[in-house]
Amino acid sequence: MKPLIYDLDLDALSRTLQQWGQPAYRARQIWRGLYVNLWHRADQFSVLPQEVRQKLAQHFAFAHLTPEKSLESSDKKTTKVLFRLPNGEAIETVLMRYRQRRTLCISTQAGCAMGCVFCATGQMGFRANLSGGEIVEQVLYFARQLKPLGERLTNVVVMGMGEPFHNYEATLAAIDRLNHHEGFNMGARRFTISTVGLVPMIRRFAAERRQINLAISLHAADDETRAAMLPINKKYPLDVLLAACREYVEATHRRITFEWALIHEHNDTPEQAAKLAALLQGLNCHVNVIPLNPTQGYTGQPTTRRRALEFCRVLESHGIPCTIRARRGIDIQAGCGQLAVQA
């Protein structure tokens, strides 16, 4: 299998062109073709001599992801695409349309090793890491879909299949490529990475002082409840996790987001909300709550609107900002892994 061209950063691309005896500016022409013009075949690079186009086609693949199934929600606001990888595994990418935003939820792994009991991807187990180029390719695929409509992606959330910090180097390399000012040029603050709480990686991320947003999948405010839902809590309990979150905020001076899937009569109680408020006191943070997306492998049910409002009321009464997020694409199984687990 040919190497994927999106796995090269600009320096690596420049070295390749130098080895081909080409002038330095050729690499930038290719880079702009890939990330500005969104070209995805060697023959589209009309700015290049024929011999260079032939070499590109000979040495590189312009796609590792094969779109296999595309589903659109009944309200036309959510589109999910199931991609097949060269190794036969499946991943998913979801586009969410808002009034002024086009947000893409991307995957970093096929399956996931974290084993969160309510998550369809966690129920699959770990299958494979994606390369940085395969992460990038998801974004460029949807950018090409939006371009003829006069639209462009405004935000990328790394919240699809997989644990991004379990594939740290590839995930951050992909964001660096998409952030590059001579290419796709998506601002760092338009990316959000979500993690279940790999503490060493949170600390590494904090030390790098990036402007990328960080979200923590929390879902419970005591160790017993959280460990039953997210096995990673046994290795990194809440006091250790929250200490790393505070380090992140102190190092970056950025607000951190906590995600909370509200499960009826389980983690949606006023008592859990009060415990959460106590945990987060003094921390520059925001809590996003969303009713659970049901999966076949988990019996829990989404909370009611009334209970969600009461959960937020308790948090806000303690000075913790909270937003109830609308569930998207329920009719097309848009929750991460819900389609791939059947593929």
- For residue range 171-221, list pLDDT tens digits in order: 999 999 999 999 999 999 999 999 999 999 999 999 999 999 999 999 999
In SS3 terms, the chain reads as CCCEHHHCCHHHHHHHHHHCCCCCHHHHHHHHHHHCCCCCCHHHCCCCCHHHHHHHHHHCECCCCEEEEEEECCCCCEEEEEEECCCCCEEEEEEEECCCCEEEECCCEEECCCCCCCCHHHHHCEEEECCHHHHHHHHHHHHHHHHHHCCCCCEEEECCCCCHHHHHHHHHHHHHHHHCCCCCCCCHHHEEEEECCCHHHHHHHHHCCCCCEEEEECCCCCHHHHHHHCHHHHCCCHHHHHHHHHHHHHHHCCCEEEEEEEECCCCCCHHHHHHHHHHHCCCCEEEEEEECCCCCCCCCCECCHHHHHHHHHHHHHCCCCEEECCCCCHHHCCCCCCCHHHC
Q: Let me know if 322 is a catalytic residue.
A: no
What CATH architecture is 5-59? Orthogonal Bundle (1.10)
> Going by CATH, does the domain composed of 66-342 fall within 3.20.20.70?
yes
- Is the confidence at residue 15, as pLDDT, over 90? yes
Predicted pLDDT of residue 336: 57
pLDDT tens by residue, 23-80: 999 999 999 999 999 999 999 999 999 999 999 999 999 999 999 999 999 998 999 9
Predicted pLDDT of residue 329: 55
Q: Let me know if 134 is a catalytic residue.
A: no
Predicted pLDDT of residue 195: 98
pLDDT tens by residue, 285-330: 999 999 998 888 898 999 999 999 999 999 999 999 999 987 665 5
Q: Read off the pLDDT band of 223 (50, 70, 90).
A: very high
Catalytic residue among 112, 116, 119, 336: 336
- Is the confidence at residue 334, as pLDDT, over 90? no
Q: Read off the pLDDT band of 246 (50, 70, 90).
A: very high
- Is the confidence at residue 337, as pLDDT, over 90? no
Residue 187 token pair = 């601002």
- Is the confidence at residue 343, as pLDDT, over 90? no
CATH 1.10.150.530 placement within the chain = 5-59
Predicted pLDDT of residue 341: 54
* 99 vs 343, higher pLDDT: 99
Q: What pTM did the predictor assign?
A: 0.94
- Is the confidence at residue 332, as pLDDT, over 80? no
Average pLDDT of the residues in 114-139 = 95
Catalytic residue among 89, 92, 137, 163: 92
pLDDT tens by residue, 78-104: 999 999 999 999 999 999 999 999 999
CATH 3.20.20.70 placement within the chain = 66-342
Predicted pLDDT of residue 294: 84
Predicted pLDDT of residue 299: 87
